[in-house]
Amino acid sequence: MDSHISDPRAFQDQVLDLLQAFGTFGKTAEGGYSRLAAGPEEKRARDHLCGWLRDHGFTVIIDPVGNIFGVLDLCVTDSERAFFCGSHLDSQPNGGNFDGCLGVVCACVAALFLKERIAAGQVHPAFRYYVVTCWTGEEGARFQPSLIGSSVFSGALHLEDAWRLRDGDGILLKDALQMTGYLGSGEAPRPDHYLELHIEQGTELERAGRAIALVEACWGAEKLRVVVTGKADHTGPTPMAQRRNALLAASHLVVEIEALAQEARETLHSSVGRMVLEPNSPNTIVERAELWIEVRSPSEAALKRAAARIDESMTTISRQSGCDLAVSSRERRSVVCFDETALEDAERALADAGIGPLKLTTIAGHDAVRLQSVCPSTLLFVPSQNGITHSPLEFTTDADVRAGFEAMTAILARLISRPAGARFKENDR
């Protein structure tokens, strides 16, 4: 072994140590993690990240939507090209410490790997900058929609619209960012490639007995917020025939949303993940119900048919219940295919490292999906035990974390050495 080259396990040990350090932020009594976007616990995690980056020679930039960019000048080329690598630190309520956090941690330690390999003459980057990224509000738990930071960065969401997003307590995202010190004004370099490591959030890798997957595409999604308006009245004396019960109408819609997936001609997943009721009193007929609905599919045609059926169902339920049903917001995320050239390069890099990846599509959205509209984007998965995520039971073994870092750095070393001028295919969006 070259005297200037560390044992690869030493970097993997640093990944595990840094992951454990982030695991001290937002720990819940149930064993999960609650680091909601622009909240106090996520601030602690972000502060730790920024401290680590500065301690290791990065310039830290915070943009106006709170995205963190740790910029490392590799000082080896006249090119201004930038290679981005990262994920997010926010979590679901009582979620896990691997979802998002693993990608940020691996991006950090990969910089140390990269600097050593460059100094030893084993990697010859064609990019000047290596940028660790931490995106704001990926989860969509506190502020909706999801993928806020990467959507603003990619131009899919206007900054002013993002700033006006409110959480359940009516707090504006802009104010929350300001309160936590992450309402920045900086501007990061524009990326020429993006690489993200994430847990799978499914069971395909486990069932195949594999440790690594390359993601070829992401399902599309239709996300709606529907408001059902009825009439508040007493649950006792009010005659049944005179009631305009928003909860009853909302319940009919929930059943219709479930039926979408059961009756679809093509693969389709549907859910109602959240409902807010007013006045939410046991003795008062519900006057207002707000529902968060989503439909996901690998087929654009299936999504279009599902959206049309939701509209038809709302009209029917309104007529039958006497309640008003209206869509207050609608987000459409198209099916996205990742860059073919980058996938081929990644597969070759893994083959050279003796790693045989599984090829998957992802149902869950990731920041890499938004970045694909800006530059070639590569998404890599490691297993999540039993496919569990967004839960205190979310877990990825140390062995799989080590394998993921090994695969990611093999891909990074190859992709960051790609000469300028390579083109990627624009997706239909």
pLDDT at residue 7, as a whole number: 85
Q: Which amino acid is at 317?
A: I
- pTM recorded for the entire structure: 0.90
pLDDT band at 422 (very low <50, low <70, confident <90, very high): low
Q: What is the pLDDT of residues 356-386, one digit of tens each?
A: 999 999 999 999 999 999 999 999 999 999 9
Domains recognised in the chain with CATH numbers: 8-218+335-415 (3.40.630.10), 220-333 (3.30.70.360)
Find, among 207, 21, 46, the residue nearest to 97 by Cα: 21
Q: How much is the average pLDDT of 318-336?
A: 95
* Mean pLDDT calculated for residue range 153-176: 97
In this predicted structure, what is the pLDDT of residue 425?
44
> Is the pLDDT reported for residue 167 higher than 70?
yes
Question: End-to-end CA distance of the chain, in Å?
Answer: 48
Percent over 90 (pLDDT), the chain: 93
Rounded Cα gap, residues 123 and 94, in angstroms:
41
The model's confidence at residue 421, banded by pLDDT at 50, 70 and 90, is low
Whether the per-residue pLDDT at 424 is higher than 70: the answer is no
Q: Give the tokens for residue 96.
A: 């896990």
pLDDT of residue 4 exceeding 80: no
Place of tokens 């106006």: 64
- CA–CA separation, 320 and 317 (whole Å): 5
Task: Write the single-letter amino acid at 114.
Answer: L
Structure tokens at 280: 């939410």
Give the separation between CA 413 and CA 189, rounded to whole angstroms: 20
* 5 has a pLDDT exceeding 90: no
Say if residue 3's pLDDT is above 70.
no
